[in-house]
Amino acid sequence: MFRMKPPVAALAVVVLVAVPVLAASPAGAAAGGNSANAHLCQKGGWQTVETNTGGSFANQDACVSYGAKGGTIYAPKVVLTHASCVTSFIGQMTTGDMTVSGTGFHPASNLSLTNPPPFFLQAGSVGSTDAGGAWSGNFSTGQLVADEAHSSVTLNVTLTDSQGVHASATTTVTCRNVNT
């Protein structure tokens, strides 16, 4: 009389134990998506992050689902730093220098810069992001009409990468008057 049942039963126990371990391993997690990305959506984060193409999310559930299914979530940022600004006459023309920096974009992606008047930075293609998705550039602000009372202007800049991921920043630049 053959007793084949114990080895078969032992094999079934090994399979039942190994399957959950595999599902919890990094290899098993990769097939299920990226929970770290999905966590970016929680606590209101879904309102500030973007899809791979720069799209927004309708709600937290849509964002979490996108990240959990392996979608890459982007959180681009733009920082504006003005280095110098001089007003020849209050209410007249002003010139200055500005540094625009961006992070959180696609790596090695072409960037374009847009900004509405009165600041006239170099608009259009401004270069490519580095391997980490970052970029920085220096600009002369050209000439603009400053606010007569404060010799200040508000600058709004948007950077957009070639896949559509974008971010904006706004700053108020107050210039010193060389005639006072």
The 10s digit of each residue's pLDDT in 54-96 is: 999 999 999 999 998 889 999 999 998 876 666 665 555 566 6
Judge whether 64 and 40 are in contact, CB under 8 Å: no
C-alpha span between 77 and 116 (Å, rounded): 19
pLDDT of 18 = 36
Average pLDDT per 10 consecutive residues for the chain, totaling 180 residues: 46 36 30 68 94 96 91 94 66 68 96 71 78 88 52 80 95 66
All structural domains of the chain, each given as residue ranges with its CATH number in brackets, are 32-74 (no CATH), 77-177 (2.60.40.3880)
Residue-level pLDDT at 16: 35
Mean of the per-residue pLDDT values for the chain? 73
What pTM did the predictor assign?
0.70
CA-based nearest residue to 48, from 56, 37, 38, 36: 56
Helix extents (H) in 103-162: none
